[in-house]
Copies of this chain bind each other. A is one copy, B any other.
């Protein structure tokens, strides 16, 4: 176990101890000695009651920074208890993009109050970000950029930079703009450092660097950063004017959230889901998902109900039927997951999908026949009845083919209809594999036994 997490664990432990012993002043001291990001992590990892206590102990001046590191759900939770003035204060020193994100957790009315209580420059900057949806480049961007003109020399640029007390974090490029603030190119700082100071910016700058349009969706922004190993990228509007820049730290959050999205959605959960949400809130959310799945369960039952006469005569069918359904479900979910991930990585196109589809049919054929044989053999030994063994074998093959077809096709059909495959895919898939599983197995049995 890495040493620094050991330390963290130890710190956490003594803090919890102090908390339980009610030594709040001690807790406050320990808490505010921590980095904002670690306080945020501690809050995320705390139960609601503890969370409330800890939040009240956080120094006013660090509240903003802590908030910025919290998940949307927790941000909204804490912000909702604050007045517009308080929100304005605690966010005063934050990056404009982070402030914009937070404001999006608040009701429109409050957002307006907060904005009006800010100084003009900040308000204008943040409003320029709020113009864009949270999930596109304009919503991700940060407006604090270091811009220079192309006609000055590097020497002058260096002197100009020295007039700053600090440069914004992750400033790997200076952004070159003309008098109309139109983006022309970037001057990589590393290039500035190794080039002859007498050269002009125009001579040294890159004009082929990646530029991001404010309306580009965040997942596409993430792909650009990943594929071109960017640390930051300029954001421009359709007129080509520089609006701001996106930095890798914000992109990493996007990557993490999008990756979590598929995992959580497949279980009917939200990627922003608070691990320690209160019981009632959790119950309400989960109830919906259970309800949806109950419908599919009843559909499966209805199918079984069609064959009650057959089951009455051959009870072994009832014993074996779950095997057919579950094997179909497992095989289907493997295809479904692979295709959903393929969509996320942008691997799937019309051309290669046909190949993938055919491969899945082959795989279904191979594994279908293999496991059909195994299951038929076990069934024969178990019930010593060749007919039922043959029937379950056939049903398994049928269901694995159907599972492959629906597992591969569902994500594309759903996506084309604007439905999230990760969320709806697994429910629909199980419905299909259950129905087909029971239908084929019990149906064939009815033909052969009645």
Q: Which residues of A pack against B, CB within 8 Å?
A: 2-5, 9, 12, 16, 35, 37-38, 41, 44-47, 50, 69, 158, 161-162, 164-167, 169-172, 189-191, 193-196, 213, 216-217, 220, 224-229, 231, 248-249, 252-253, 255-256, 259-260, 262-264, 266-269, 273, 275-276, 278-280, 282-283, 286-287, 289-291, 293-294, 296-298, 300-301, 304-305, 308, 311-312, 315-323, 325-327, 330-331, 333-334, 336-338, 341-342, 345-349, 351-352, 355-356, 359, 362-363, 366-367, 370-371, 374-375, 378, 430, 434
* Residue in B16, B294, B338, B367 whose CB lies within 8 Å of A374: B294
Which 9 A-B residue pairs are closest in the complex by CB-CB distance? A259-B259, A318-B318, A267-B337, A229-B249, A279-B362, A167-B190, A283-B366, A45-B347, A47-B355
A253 to chain B, nearest CB (A): 8
**Which chain B residues lie closer than 8 Å to A286 at the CB level?**
331, 334, 363, 367
> When the two chains form their complex, are residues A371 and B283 in contact, meaning their CB atoms are under 8 A apart?
no
> When the two chains form their complex, are residues B16 and A351 in contact, meaning their CB atoms are under 8 A apart?
yes
> When the two chains form their complex, are residues A248 and B263 in contact, meaning their CB atoms are under 8 A apart?
no
Residue of B with least CB distance to A162: B194
| Seed contacts A5-B220, A275-B342, A304-B322; 13 additional CB < 8 Å A-B pairs | A2-B217, A2-B220, A45-B348, A161-B193, A226-B252, A248-B248, A263-B337, A276-B359, A283-B366, A286-B334, A294-B327, A317-B318, A322-B434
The answer to whether residues A267 and B333 also contact, given A279-B359, A290-B371, A311-B311 and a CB cut-off of 8 A, is yes
> When the two chains form their complex, are residues A264 and B193 in contact, meaning their CB atoms are under 8 A apart?
no
The answer to whether residues A322 and B325 also contact, given A3-B213, A259-B259 and a CB cut-off of 8 A, is yes
> When the two chains form their complex, are residues B352 and A289 in contact, meaning their CB atoms are under 8 A apart?
no
A430 to chain B, nearest CB (A): 8
* Residue in B35, B248, B319, B355 whose CB lies within 8 Å of A305: B319
> When the two chains form their complex, are residues A189 and B193 in contact, meaning their CB atoms are under 8 A apart?
yes
A359 to chain B, nearest CB (A): 5
**A–B Cβ pairs within 8 angstroms, 13 of them:** A2-B213, A2-B220, A9-B349, A37-B228, A45-B348, A45-B352, A231-B231, A263-B337, A275-B348, A279-B363, A287-B370, A294-B323, A294-B374
A35 to chain B, nearest CB (A): 8
Residue of B with least CB distance to A166: B194
**Which chain B residues lie closer than 8 Å to A333 at the CB level?**
267
> When the two chains form their complex, are residues A255 and B248 in contact, meaning their CB atoms are under 8 A apart?
no
> When the two chains form their complex, are residues A273 and B338 in contact, meaning their CB atoms are under 8 A apart?
yes
**Which chain B residues lie closer than 8 Å to A362 at the CB level?**
279, 283
A263 to B319 alpha-carbon distance, docked (Å): 31
> When the two chains form their complex, are residues B269 and A297 in contact, meaning their CB atoms are under 8 A apart?
no
A139 to chain B, nearest CB (A): 15
A162 to B192 alpha-carbon distance, docked (Å): 9
**Which chain B residues lie closer than 8 Å to A45 at the CB level?**
346-349, 352
**Which chain B residues lie closer than 8 Å to A430 at the CB level?**
326
A275 to B344 alpha-carbon distance, docked (Å): 12
> When the two chains form their complex, are residues B275 and A338 in contact, meaning their CB atoms are under 8 A apart?
yes
* Residue in B253, B269, B434 whose CB lies within 8 Å of A338: B269
> When the two chains form their complex, are residues A308 and B315 in contact, meaning their CB atoms are under 8 A apart?
yes
The answer to whether residues A341 and B194 also contact, given A12-B349, A248-B248, A349-B12 and a CB cut-off of 8 A, is no
Residue of B with least CB distance to A9: B349
A237 to B323 alpha-carbon distance, docked (Å): 54
A41 to B175 alpha-carbon distance, docked (Å): 29
The answer to whether residues A37 and B355 also contact, given A297-B322, A341-B263, A371-B294 and a CB cut-off of 8 A, is no
**Which chain B residues lie closer than 8 Å to A374 at the CB level?**
294
A49 to chain B, nearest CB (A): 9
A119 to chain B, nearest CB (A): 24
